[in-house]
Chains A and B, each alone.
Chain A
């Protein structure tokens, strides 16, 4: 089953890196949508089937916490898992996004396997790289 992924980050470089990680990780990705900020992400969520959102926190226009809040308060969207990928690692912020319903949290700089492992856990898929070494868990 192919997954549609929405990557939300104001840095096109980070979007590019995450896309590359997904490409090489062996996930069956259907469509990769991209948004520059939370507002653009909500527009894409309205018109498309998205299986998972990977979002930065610090973005202009609408930040990742506001986006998470909007998704989790919308009856149609609230079941979509949201993974936060951000430079913010302060316990207060991590706890806030966990409480708000984020499915996981990855701190930049990140290692590719951190994203892969968390996506596997969140999407409930088999190990797409079976046989490789163990890597650190990175969800809550």
Chain B
């Protein structure tokens, strides 16, 4: 069931981030991505999609700079004017829109249940992420944007 979700992830991310947050992404390889992690901080936000007894957890890592730019563009504020709480709120909404776009695209019958985005941690140092196994990596003006997925059976 989640195969289609994974296959559509990149296009849905691009649609939402470009259309609503004026943020343009370029898919890059994991190796190139790892080189850009050091010295950066990330917001880690997760959301769960449920299908019967299966669940897919999507975890998104937004760099602090990219998150700040997305939030200022979305709210019409000057960069640096917004606090972390406002940036996190905008990023959770972005994750909500991405996950919503995925279920709209991949599950028109409405068999999947969409969870609520959750901030797992802010200020995650890029150094901590170098060894992670990312499912999708993107570049935004030199800043990496990363996604991991994890499938579980209940």
Q: Taking beta carbons and an 8 Å cutoff, which residues of A are in contact with B?
A: 10-14, 16-17, 20, 58-60, 86-93, 107-109
Contacts and interface: CB of A to CB of B under 8 A. Distances in A.
A88 B114 contact: yes
Given A12-B86, A92-B109, A93-B110, A108 B97 contact: yes
B154 interface: no
18 contacts: A10-B116, A11-B92, A11-B96, A13-B89, A13-B90, A13-B93, A17-B75, A60-B116, A87-B97, A87-B99, A87-B104, A88-B100, A88-B104, A89-B100, A90-B110, A91-B108, A91-B110, A108-B20
Contacts of A89: 100, 104
Interface string B80-99: 00000010011011001101
Given A13-B93, A58-B96, A90 B103 contact: yes
Given A90-B108, A92-B109, A109 B97 contact: yes
Contacts of A87: 96-97, 99-101, 104, 114
A16 B19 CA distance: 18
A109 B108 CA distance: 18
Interface of B: 16, 19-20, 71, 74-76, 86, 89-90, 92-93, 96-97, 99-101, 103-104, 107-110, 114, 116
Nearest to B15: A109
Contact of B89 (A12, A88, A90, A91): A12
A93 B90 CA distance: 24
Contacts of B89: 11-13
Contacts of A108: 20, 96-97, 100
A107 B101 CA distance: 10
A58 B98 CA distance: 14
A86 B116 CA distance: 12
- 10 closest A-B pairs by beta carbon, nearest first, are A87-B100, A92-B110, A109-B20, A89-B104, A90-B110, A11-B93, A13-B90, A13-B89, A87-B97, A12-B89
Nearest to A87: B100
Contacts of A93: 110
A109 B101 CA distance: 9
A89 B99 CA distance: 12
Given A11-B89, A12-B89, A13-B89, A20 B76 contact: yes
